[in-house]
Amino acid sequence: MRAVRGYEEKDPAITQHLTSAYPRFVVHPYAKQLAALILQKRSLAGQTLWLTSSTRMADELLAHLGPATGAKLISDEGVHGVAHPESPELFARAKTFLQNVGGFLSSREAEDQLVRRGPLATAHAEETFVGDAAAEIRRHLRRAMPAARDADLLLAPNGMNAIYATFRAIAHLQAARGRTVWVQLGWLYLDTIAILKKFTATPADYVYVGDVFDAEALENLFAAHGAKLAGVVAEVPTNPLIQTPDVAALAALCKKHGARLVLDPSVVSVFNLDLLAYADVVTCSLTKYTGSEGDLTAGLAAINPAGPDAAVLRSRIADTIEPVYARDLARLAWQIDHTDAVLARIHENLPRVVRFLVQQPSVRDVFWTLHPDSRDNYLWLTTKPASNGGMLSFSLRMPIEKFYDRLRLPKGPSFGMKTTLICPFMYLAHYDLVTTEAGRAELFASGIDPDLLRLCVGTEPAEEIIAALAEALA
């Protein structure tokens, strides 16, 4: 826990050991090396260079920073980005923007550029799909969403970019109809919250409904905002409490009032829930479960072909979503073929770990897809028996430091891998809330213990995962 806090507080004693991390939060070493090479080549001493996933993303970043900052576009041998004078304030603004919208250059593209330019002798050897990788990925995704056609399945370099492109497309379409209000249903992933807060027209156009089960509050909200409602965004299930709302009722409410519904099943994967019939767009991080080796990021925006704005959304999201680098596609196309086997193993392990945790005196609450509060809502949506994903979260009756420091399991902020991962999720996602009295009160008001631990069960033997938890709880 000392290292967790040190990372969040940017303590050099901790951060000096960090060489690589989740690539939307820590710029990949290859991207850093390539940026330094271009700065040197262009004689841009005293500048910071952000490499982006496309020239369009570079244009967006420049517009976000503003011309008065001295920022400028950089294009160099097919690589695009924005350079600005070294400044902690500009650094934070640029990094946060690219993190929120998923606009960083792919590490594989940076690697290939370094090989071509000379600093690297060869690219890392890995197994990839040979052939039309995008078609292969869509072939598998159609098994999960048989109503979708290839044109409805829009691939993104990460889940956040899929969400950003979807939000922009719906917001632009609905604003022309005088609809600007967006509803966040339940606690969402931090960058999804950031998109809703930062890119809605005014602060009053962002509305948060914390209780996903409060049908009366939702109905009152829809009645109050009426024709101003643009869209609703919900994770199914939510992260980190793993709560499933009544999706059928929510979809009916959105249809009645003309709001567009965006559903995100990343917590359990699109292979476990059939949501497309209810949503206008299903967004998902393909980093999770389909990228089960944990060595790539990818995302999906799936258009409901029967939705009232399907044709327009399909076109606008396709025009806005960022391109996926070819080697990332080839790697994902190879891994996605393993998804069924990976999920089957995870689905065997998860209930066993849950049964263990609920019997422990030191554990206060355990949340998962079949928690009594939303078990029926979840089962209504599942595509096959026992398709529960791999995530659970739990709170303790003991100090978090005592448990976490003793725990001998891999620790990290992602999920949906073959490797089991645990983290003090709110510390990593919302450290500003965890460390203030007002912030902790906000979390408790949303039913979230600031010390909540999020565990995503992997494919290791269940008895090994349980033994590690037992040792730390003793």
What are 193-228's pLDDT values in tens digits? 999 999 999 999 999 999 999 999 999 999 999 899
- Write out pLDDT tens, residues 363-399: 999 999 999 999 999 999 998 888 999 999 999 999 9
Q: What is the pLDDT of residue 343?
A: 97
Do 465 and 355 meet the contact criterion of CB atoms below 8 Å apart? no
The count of C-alpha atoms lying within 13 angstroms of the C-alpha of 365, restricted to the half-sphere facing its C-beta, is 17
Residue % of the chain over a pLDDT of 70: 100
| In 42-132, alpha helices (H) | 55-65, 88-101, 107-117
Average pLDDT over residues 262-281: 96
- Write out pLDDT tens, residues 52-65: 999 999 999 999 99
CA distance 80 to 97: 16
Q: What is the pLDDT of residue 383?
A: 81
pLDDT at 317 over 90: yes
Average pLDDT over residues 75-86: 97
Do 437 and 449 meet the contact criterion of CB atoms below 8 Å apart? no
Q: Where in the chain is the domain with CATH 3.90.1150.10?
A: 339-473
| Predicted model pTM | 0.95
CA distance 474 to 470: 6
CA distance 305 to 442: 38
Q: What is the pLDDT of residue 274?
A: 85
Residue % of the chain over a pLDDT of 90: 94
Q: Where in the chain is the domain with CATH 3.40.640.10?
A: 133-336
CATH number of 133-336: 3.40.640.10
Peptide bond into 385 cis (omega under 30): no
Pick the CATH number of 339-473 from 3.40.50.300, 3.90.1150.10, 2.60.450.10, 2.40.50.140: 3.90.1150.10
Residue 331 pLDDT class (50, 70, 90 cuts): very high
**Beta strand 453-456 with 421-423: parallel, antiparallel or unpaired?**
antiparallel
Alpha-carbon separation of residue 461 from 160, 339, 348, 457, 466 (angstroms): 32, 18, 10, 10, 9
Q: What is the pLDDT of residue 366?
A: 97
- Write out pLDDT tens, residues 393-433: 999 999 999 999 999 999 998 999 999 999 999 999 899 99
Q: Which two tokens stand for residue 220?
A: 């009152």
Backbone torsions φ then ψ of 318, nearest 5 degrees: -60, -35
**Higher pLDDT, residue 20 or 304:** 304
Q: What is the pLDDT of residue 448?
A: 92
Q: CA angle, corner 93, sides to 92 and 96, nearest 5?
A: 80
Average pLDDT over residues 281-289: 97
